[in-house]
């Protein structure tokens, strides 16, 4: 990890963050709003990459953790009038608890069964939201009375700061001994277990960390939108975007997942005038990257740097 601070990746990342921090000084509120959403999705993708990219657990339901954090925070504010910041903290805590409840039985199964378990959890959450519409707003959505701020620049800086701090923590964790154990267990769990590593304990820790950042980002996002709905935080399509973002940016890179999310959100928005063709173009680009650059954007760049 110490070598990271002298690497080209660190200086490029630092330069990008500094440039990004100055954008509110000369770009429109529309662009700031688009990037604000992209930054939160960047955290979603990085949290997912820690669990799948390193731990090797196929997670088809990242929106379960996101949705629990988002809806818990939104309901507490809408129904009880609690402060925004308290609701955000409790939303993240609820996501951790829900992740722990899901992970304990799910980690006992292997292969695609873990992914199916997480996918079923998403469907159950969707049904819960629809059935208890008086509490959650149902299919219409939950209107949240409070927001963090209405200032576009402030919202942008909050999202950028949150993504930067999350990236530093998640990347640091991935490069720590815990991250190395996760990577070893993801590649060969039998051999890693034979070396004396507690695979289940490390994967459970990764699941909890992923749940915390997913829930916290989800709670922040709904207080930016001012509303929570199935389509914005729980829908399976949202989860697919998170997964594609991580794969585009580079699996097992963490930082690349944020790049992939920003690319996906920005490209999708600027291609919106093309209608349904936008989805086709973005999907085609994602497919080409997966086929010809399995390591993703950042993975390809890092491998090229290593060869040079």
Alpha-carbon span 40 to 27, nearest angstrom:
19
Q: Model confidence over 253-269: pLDDT tens digits? A: 888 889 889 988 888 88
Q: Model confidence over 68-89: pLDDT tens digits? A: 999 999 999 999 989 999 999 9
Residue pair 96/36 in contact (Cβ under 8 Å)? The answer is no
Tokens (6 digits) for 85: 């910041």
Q: Model confidence over 197-256: pLDDT tens digits? A: 677 777 788 888 889 999 999 999 999 999 999 888 998 888 888 888 888 888 778 888
Q: Model confidence over 122-145: pLDDT tens digits? A: 999 999 999 999 999 888 889 999
For residue 109, pLDDT beyond 70 = no
Tokens (6 digits) for 59: 């997670």
Q: What angle do CA 106, 112, 117 make, to 5 degrees?
A: 35
36 or 200: which carries more pLDDT confidence? 36
Radius of gyration of the chain (CA): 19
Predicted local confidence at residue 8, as pLDDT = 75
The whole-number average pLDDT for the span 52-58 is 68
- What backbone phi and psi angles, to 5 degrees, belong to 81? 70, 25
Q: What is the 3-state secondary structure (H, E, C) of the chain?
A: CHHHHHCHHHHHHHHHHHHHHHHHHCCCHHHHHHHHHHHHHHHHHHHHHHHHHHCCCCCCCHHHHHHHHHHHHHHHHHHHCCCHHHHHHHHHHHHHHHHHHHHHHHCCCCCHHHHHHHHHHHHHHHHHHHHCHHHHCCCCCEECCCCCCCCHHHHHHHHHHHHHHHHHHHHHHHHCHHHHHHHHHHHCHHHHHHCCCCHHHHHHHHHHHHHHHHHHHHHHHHHHHCEECHHHHHCHHHHHHHHHHHHHHCCCCCHHHHHHHHHHHHHHHHCHHHCCHHHHHHHHHHHHHHHHCCCHHHHHHHHHHHHC
Predicted local confidence at residue 282, as pLDDT = 79
Q: How confident is the model at residue 306 (pLDDT cuts 50, 70, 90)?
A: very low
Residue 252 half-sphere exposure toward CB, CA atoms < 13 A: 17
For residue 305, pLDDT beyond 70 = no
Q: What angle do CA 102, 194, 209 make, to 5 degrees?
A: 30
Which whole-number Å values give the CA distances from 22 to 96, 167, 293, in the listed order?
Answer: 34, 19, 32
Alpha-carbon span 129 to 67, nearest angstrom:
10
Alpha-carbon span 109 to 106, nearest angstrom:
6
Question: Based on the number of CB atoms within 10 Å of its own CB, is 30 exposed (0-12), middle (13-18) or buried (19 or more)?
Answer: exposed
**What integer best gives the mean pLDDT of the chain?**
84
Alpha-carbon span 34 to 36, nearest angstrom:
5
């Amino acid at each position: 990890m110490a070598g990271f601070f002298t690497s080209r990746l660190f200086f490029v990342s630092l330069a990008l963050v500094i440039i990004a921090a100055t954008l509110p000084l000369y770009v429109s509120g529309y662009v700031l709003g688009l990037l604000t959403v992209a930054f939160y999705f960047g955290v979603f993708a990085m949290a997912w990459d820690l669990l799948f990219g390193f731990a090797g657990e196929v997670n088809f339901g990242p929106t379960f953790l996101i949705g629990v954090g988002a809806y818990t925070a939104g309901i507490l504010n809408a129904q009880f009038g609690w402060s925004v910041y308290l609701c955000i903290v409790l939303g993240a805590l609820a996501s951790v608890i829900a992740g722990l409840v899901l992970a304990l039985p799910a980690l006992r199964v292997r292969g695609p069964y873990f992914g199916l378990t997480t996918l079923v959890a998403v469907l159950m959450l969707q049904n819960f939201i629809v059935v208890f519409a008086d509490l959650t707003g149902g299919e219409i959505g939950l209107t949240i009375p409070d927001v963090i701020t209405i200032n576009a620049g402030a919202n942008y800086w909050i999202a950028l700061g949150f993504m930067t701090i999350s990236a530093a923590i998640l990347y640091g964790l991935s490069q720590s001994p815990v991250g190395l154990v996760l990577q070893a267990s993801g590649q060969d769990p039998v051999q890693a277990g034979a070396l004396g590593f507690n695979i289940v304990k490390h994967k459970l820790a990764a699941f909890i960390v992923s749940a915390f950042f997913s829930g916290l980002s989800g709670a922040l996002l709904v207080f930016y939108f001012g509303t929570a709905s199935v389509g914005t935080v729980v829908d399976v399509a949202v989860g697919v975007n998170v997964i594609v973002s991580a794969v585009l940016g580079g699996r097992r890179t963490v930082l690349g997942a944020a790049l992939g999310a920003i690319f996906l959100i920005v490209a999708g928005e600027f291609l919106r005038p093309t209608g349904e063709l936008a989805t086709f173009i973005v999907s085609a680009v994602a497919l080409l990257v997966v086929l010809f650059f399995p390591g993703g954007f950042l993975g390809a760049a890092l491998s090229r740097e290593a060869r040079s």
